[in-house]
C-alpha cells in the first residue's frame, strides 16, 4: 500500500477517534447511562469539531513538516482563482433555497418564512462567524487533506462518494445524543445531503486551484441558510429536489472524472 493511500485511512481513524472520544461521554451522559464530570462535558462541547483539523495537521506535519503545514494553512485564504467562481460560491445555495421557499409558498400552504439575515442581522452575523469557524475546521481535513489523496487513486465523483461515506457517520453521535442539540432531520436524509454537498464541494475545489476558501465559504453558506428551507416538509422536499438536479447537472456538464474542465492543480503543496 502506498504511503498516500495509508495516510488517508489514518486520517479517517484519527478524525473519528479524536471526535468520538470526546463525544461518547456526552452522549452517554445525555442518555443517563453515566454521569460525566462537568469539565469533561465542557470539553465534549468544544473539542469534537476539531477531529478532521487535528488529523490533517498531524499527518501533514509528520509527512511534510512545518513547511507542509504552512502550505496547508495558506490554502484557507487563497483567492487566486477565476472571479466567475464567486457566483456559485456565494449565490448558488441562496438561489436554490430561495426558489424552494418560493415554490413551497406558491404551490403549498406554508407562509413565507422570516429571513433572520434581514430581521436580526447582528444575530445572524454572529452565528455566521461561528459557522465559518466550524466549516474551516472540517474543510482543512475533508477537502484539504483527504480529498487530495483520494483523487490520486479514484476519479473526482468516486472520491466524493467515498469521502461522504465517512463524512456522514462522523456526525452520527448527534443523532444518538438526547436533548436539545439532537437534529430533527432523519440521519438518512442528512447523509443524502452530505453526498450532494460532497460532490458540489469537489466541483468547486477542483475548479478553484485546490483552494480551501471556496469550500469553507460554501460549507458555511449551506449551514447558515439565507432562506430557511428546513422549517417545513414542503420546502425541504423541494430544496432537496433542486439540490439533486443541480448536482446531477454538474456531473453531466463537468464530467465525473474530474468534475472540472481544467487541468487539476497539484495537490501536493
Number of helices (H), then strands (E), belonging to the chain: the values are: 13, 0
Residue 30 lies in a domain: no
Domain count of the fold of the chain: 1
Per the structure, the complete domain to which residue 206 belongs is given by 79-254
DSSP letter at 50 equals G
Residue 113 lies in a domain: yes
> DSSP 3-state helix, strand, coil percentages of the chain (rounded to 5)?
75, 0, 25
Condensed to tens digits (0 to 9), the pLDDT of residues 139-162 reads 999 999 999 999 999 999 999 999
Distance separating alpha carbons of residues 267 and 30, to the nearest angstrom: 41
Q: What is the pTM of this model?
A: 0.91
* pLDDT for 15 beyond 70: yes
- Residue 201's closest CA among 143, 140, 130, 117? 143
Condensed to tens digits (0 to 9), the pLDDT of residues 202-231 reads 999 999 999 999 999 999 999 998 888 877
Residue 269 lies in a domain: no
Distance separating alpha carbons of residues 169 and 163, to the nearest angstrom: 11
* pLDDT for 38 beyond 60: yes
Residue 187 lies in a domain: yes
User: Which residues, including other chains, have CB under 8 Å from residue 159's CB and lie 6 or more apart?
Assistant: 147, 150, 151, 153, 202
Exposed / middle / buried, residue 236 (Cβ in 10 Å: 0-12, 13-18, 19+) = middle
The confidence band for 269, taking pLDDT boundaries of 50, 70 and 90, is very low
Condensed to tens digits (0 to 9), the pLDDT of residues 41-63 reads 777 777 889 999 999 999 999 99
* pLDDT for 36 beyond 90: no
Burial string for 57-71 (b: 16+ CB within 10 Å, else e) reads bbbbeeeeeeebeee
Tally the C-alpha atoms within 13 A of residue 149's C-alpha that lie toward its C-beta: 21
pLDDT at 143: 97
Cβ distance 207 to 72 under 8 Å?
no
Distances (CA, A) of 169 to 5, 181, 197, 231, 244: 21, 17, 15, 23, 20
Condensed to tens digits (0 to 9), the pLDDT of residues 84-116 reads 999 999 999 999 999 999 998 888 766 777 788
Q: What average pLDDT does the structure give for the chain?
A: 89
Distance separating alpha carbons of residues 254 and 247, to the nearest angstrom: 11
DSSP letter at 172 equals T
Distance separating alpha carbons of residues 110 and 269, to the nearest angstrom: 49
Residue 27 lies in a domain: no
At residue 33, the 3 state secondary structure works out as: coil
Distance separating alpha carbons of residues 6 and 113, to the nearest angstrom: 47
Residue 204 lies in a domain: yes
pLDDT at 268: 41
Residue 165 lies in a domain: yes
Cβ distance 201 to 215 under 8 Å?
yes
Residue 31 lies in a domain: no
Q: How many CB atoms sit inside 10 A of residue 193's CB?
A: 19
Amino acid at each position: 500500500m502506498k504511503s498516500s493511500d495509508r495516510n488517508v485511512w489514518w486520517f479517517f481513524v484519527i478524525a473519528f477517534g479524536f471526535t468520538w472520544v470526546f463525544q461518547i461521554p456526552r452522549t452517554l451522559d445525555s442518555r443517563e447511562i453515566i454521569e460525566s464530570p462537568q469539565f469533561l462535558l465542557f470539553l465534549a462541547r468544544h473539542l469534537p469539531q476539531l477531529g478532521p483539523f487535528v488529523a490533517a495537521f498531524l499527518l501533514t506535519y509528520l509527512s511534510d513538516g512545518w513547511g507542509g503545514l504552512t502550505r496547508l494553512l495558506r490554502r484557507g485564504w487563497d483567492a487566486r482563482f477565476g472571479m466567475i467562481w464567486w457566483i456559485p460560491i456565494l449565490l448558488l445555495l441562496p438561489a436554490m433555497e430561495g426558489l424552494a421557499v418560493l415554490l413551497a409558498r406558491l404551490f403549498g400552504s406554508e407562509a413565507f418564512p422570516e429571513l433572520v439575515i434581514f430581521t436580526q442581522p447582528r444575530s445572524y452575523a454572529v452565528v455566521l462567524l461561528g459557522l465559518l469557524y466550524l466549516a474551516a475546521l472540517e474543510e482543512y481535513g475533508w477537502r484539504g487533506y483527504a480529498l487530495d489523496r483520494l483523487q490520486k487513486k479514484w476519479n473526482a465523483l468516486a472520491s466524493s462518494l467515498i469521502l461522504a461515506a465517512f463524512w456522514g457517520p462522523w456526525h452520527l453521535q448527534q443523532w444518538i445524543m438526547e436533548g436539545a442539540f439532537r437534529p430533527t432531520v432523519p440521519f438518512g436524509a442528512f447523509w443524502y445531503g452530505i453526498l450532494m454537498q460532497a460532490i458540489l464541494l469537489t466541483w468547486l475545489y477542483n475548479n478553484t486551484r485546490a483552494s480551501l476558501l471556496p469550500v469553507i465559504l460554501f460549507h458555511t453558506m449551506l449551514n447558515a441558510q439565507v432562506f430557511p428551507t428546513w422549517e417545513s416538509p414542503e420546502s425541504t422536499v423541494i430544496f432537496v429536489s433542486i439540490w439533486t438536479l443541480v448536482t446531477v447537472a454538474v456531473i453531466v456538464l463537468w464530467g465525473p472524472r474530474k468534475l472540472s474542465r481544467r487541468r487539476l492543480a497539484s495537490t501536493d503543496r
